[in-house]
Amino acid sequence: MGLYHKRPTVADIRALKGKRKLSMLFVDTPEEAAAAAAAGIDMLSIVDPVWTPEMREAAGDCFVQVGLLYGQLVTQEDYQRAAHRVMQIGGDCVYCASSFGTIKALADDGIPVVSHVGLIPSKATWSGGFKAVGKTAQSAIQVYEHVKALEEIGVFGVELEVVPDRVALELSKRTNLVLLGMGAGPYADAQYLFAEDVLGYTRGHKPRHAKTYRDFRSEMDRLQAERIAAFAEFKVDVDTGAYPAADHAVTMKDDEYQAFLSRLN
């Protein structure tokens, strides 16, 4: 199977707006991507540093948003080069939270772009830190205006993060953008969670909107203990001469060995 699958296009994703909710996961590994594809997850978010042909293959029929990380890329040209590269690998769209000018340049190049409104982690200092945005009328209007500005410059979707559910409801009525909700209540077009939260091995803070479906942390801790124990047993075997045993060695016929010794002498 090659890089290209029978997966949704941007037009397909847009056509689902208002018809059914989309499921979306942030994944880090080919194993997570393949599991999401097998489970029928609609959309994946994968950051550029781990975006490879192997990840594209693992993601199967999932629509993949490839994250262009704010701070690792700086200039408009940096973003353009990165965006074209990740699309060549098989990305279906890019995520960009840079300036309006940079986002517009990508959109003008014909690259499908998802941006970010509400709580934007890379810019959280401007909205008071890692907390909900849009809880006052003034703040909610600013979220709405941000959405409309992004709509105007040509993005097709936005991550809508940690805003009141009623604000998300009104936004959904007033924009043609696909709203990828993360802590934005039930009215966004997609429900977006991190695989690490879903699987129960969150690194760092677990957000209020996260829901955990499995306890991978306990299993990962158990496997780490088993890993340490296995390595320690190997060391003891090496120290005591128990490894390698005879059945681990390559054998040689006696006559060949004797011929070898003769030649040495």
Residue 161 annotated as catalytic: yes
Separation of CA 26 from chain center: 3
Q: Shortest CA distance to 59 belongs to which of 12, 7, 23?
A: 7
Q: Which amino acid is at 51?
A: W
In the chain, % helix, strand, coil (3-state, to 5) comes to 50, 15, 35
| Contact indicator for 212, 200 with CB cutoff of 8 Å | yes
Nearest to 137 by CA among 115, 163, 162, 112: 163
Query: Letter for the amino acid at 20?
Result: R
The one catalytic residue in 31, 32, 159, 161 is: 161
List the beta bridge partners of residue 148.
none
Residues labelled catalytic: 161
